[in-house]
């Protein structure tokens, strides 16, 4: 059974992590900065060493292609992103790109030829920490965003994506090409695999997300003289809604999640009944119909609470991101790969979005998750075990070879 070189993969990850390395062992390689350019240059050099044909498209996505034997076959791509959070880790994104490179190196070493071409992709600006929106490169590639729209986005210093691409030398000429399949390996960025002592997460899809801003307006009043029955307590209404969001997320099916992460109280004084609260609501679900039902239940609860607490509530939807279901045949080959290598595995749904979510709109897509320490990501202490990193890459190798057709 063909297997990847675990040490080589780990070494590539560690070598890449030296570019933008932080004192605490993390990585600061913000998109389209000098550090990102150096990371890209390193990746391109490794692609060329592996004999891949490199092309760069107009939003700076990089593709390294290993030719197949059938000129008509659409390429099977693997990838993720090389940019990091401002205080990011060594694995988020980098793992998916380095795993793709390791698959190609393994095919080279074993002299395996595939019917379809095999590609390694590095998508521009997945993190969105310098330029919004997040997942910009894959979003443009998948037609979610217009190229011109993306190029015109500016960072806080007024530098546009177009200017930053030109400065790094990664404003390429290539137009998007069709893909036969897309695979992405990624650390879970959550606690489930570690908690259940599972090596491989077979990712069924990604949760849909609906994000809301909520403003609740009651009336300030003195905590002493104001009887309970005449109060218009915005914080009481907000708190009741937090409890309902939690109830909705724990009682609805299909991997429902609900979070109030932000809350601001005014005037925020110990002995004044709060007259105003601003807060957010983040609802997620694997099925769009269930997500819609959660939103409807949220609105019903909010209307009832507002009436009972005598407050005004204004709910604005700020993000809608539909659930994505990955391609069943690719998901099955990931699961079979894990079984074949004897890895413990479980089906899982990605709570966060990844480039794969956009790629799923234009090609059959699947993802492989591996555990990360404490479920922690977007942090310099992000960590993963070398044997899990290798296992995920072996599963990727299996799925890619199956899809691309080994001769």
Interface contacts to a second copy, rule CB under 8 A: 188-192, 195, 207, 209, 211, 221-230, 233, 235-236, 238-240, 242-243, 246, 249-250, 255-265, 268-274, 280, 282, 284, 350-353, 375, 377-378
Least distance between a second copy and beta carbon 16 (Å): 23
Which CB, 171 or 235, lies closer to a second copy? 235
SS3 state at 236: helix
Which CB, 36 or 244, lies closer to a second copy? 244
User: Which run of H or of E encompasses 199?
Assistant: none
Least distance between a second copy and beta carbon 213 (Å): 9
Which CB, 162 or 240, lies closer to a second copy? 240
Least distance between a second copy and beta carbon 255 (Å): 8
Q: What 8-state DSSP symbol labels residue 126?
A: S
CA atoms within 13 A on the CB side of 405: 12
Which CB, 119 or 233, lies closer to a second copy? 233
Which CB, 3 or 379, lies closer to a second copy? 379
The tokens for 161 are 């994506």
Least distance between a second copy and beta carbon 261 (Å): 5
Backbone angles phi, psi at 302, to 5 degrees: -65, -40
Burial of 407 from C-beta contacts in 10 A (0-12 / 13-18 / 19+): exposed
Least distance between a second copy and beta carbon 322 (Å): 14
Q: Which residues, in sequence order, are bridge partners of residue 63?
A: 55, 121
SS3 state at 157: coil
Four-point Cα dihedral 164, 171, 38, 129, nearest 10:
40
Q: Residue 122's CB: how many other CB atoms inside 10 A?
A: 31
Least distance between a second copy and beta carbon 72 (Å): 39
Which CB, 84 or 402, lies closer to a second copy? 84
């Amino acid at each position: 059974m063909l297997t990847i070189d675990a040490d080589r993969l780990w070494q590539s990850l560690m070598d890449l992590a030296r570019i933008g390395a932080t004192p605490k062992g993390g990585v600061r390689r913000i998109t389209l900065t000098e550090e990102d350019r150096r990371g890209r240059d390193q990746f391109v050099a490794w692609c060329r060493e592996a004999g891949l044909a490199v092309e760069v498209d107009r939003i700076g996505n990089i593709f390294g292609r290993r030719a197949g034997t059938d000129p008509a076959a659409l390429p099977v791509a693997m990838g993720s992103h090389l940019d990091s959070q401002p205080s990011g880790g060594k694995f988020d994104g980098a793992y998916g790109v380095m795993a793709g490179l390791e698959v190609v190196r393994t095919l080279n070493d074993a002299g395996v030829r595939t019917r379809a071409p095999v590609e390694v992709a590095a998508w521009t600006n997945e993190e969105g920490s310098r330029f919004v929106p997040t997942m910009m490169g894959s979003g443009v590639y998948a037609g979610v965003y217009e190229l011109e729209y993306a190029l015109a986005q500016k960072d806080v210093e007024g530098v546009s994506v177009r200017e930053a691409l030109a400065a790094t030398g990664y404003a390429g000429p290539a137009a998007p090409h069709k893909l036969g399949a897309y695979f992405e390996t990624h650390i879970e960025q959550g606690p489930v695999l570690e908690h259940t002592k599972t090596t491989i997460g077979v990712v069924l899809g990604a949760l849909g997300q609906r994000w809301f801003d909520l403003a609740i307006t009651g009336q300030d009043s003195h905590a002493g003289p104001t009887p309970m029955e005449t109060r218009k307590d915005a914080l009481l209404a907000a708190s009741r809604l937090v409890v309902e969001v939690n109830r909705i997320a724990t009682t609805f099916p299909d991997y429902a999640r609900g979070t109030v992460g932000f809350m601001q109280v005014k005037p925020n004084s110990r002995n004044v009944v709060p007259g105003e609260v601003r807060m957010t609501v983040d609802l997620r679900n694997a099925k769009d119909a269930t997500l819609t039902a959660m939103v409807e239940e949220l609105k019903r609860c909010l209307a009832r609470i507002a009436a009972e607490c005598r407050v005004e509530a204004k709910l604005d939807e700020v993000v809608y991101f539909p659930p994505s279901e990955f391609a069943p045949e690719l998901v099955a080959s990931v699961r079979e790969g894990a079984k074949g290598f004897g890895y413990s595995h479980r089906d899982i749904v990605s709570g966060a979005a990844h480039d794969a979510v956009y790629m799923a709109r234009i090609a059959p897509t699947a993802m492989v998750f591996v555990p990360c320490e404490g479920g922690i990501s977007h942090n310099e202490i992000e960590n993963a075990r070398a044997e899990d990193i290798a296992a995920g890459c072996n599963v990727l190798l299996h799925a890619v070879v199956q899809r691309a057709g080994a001769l």
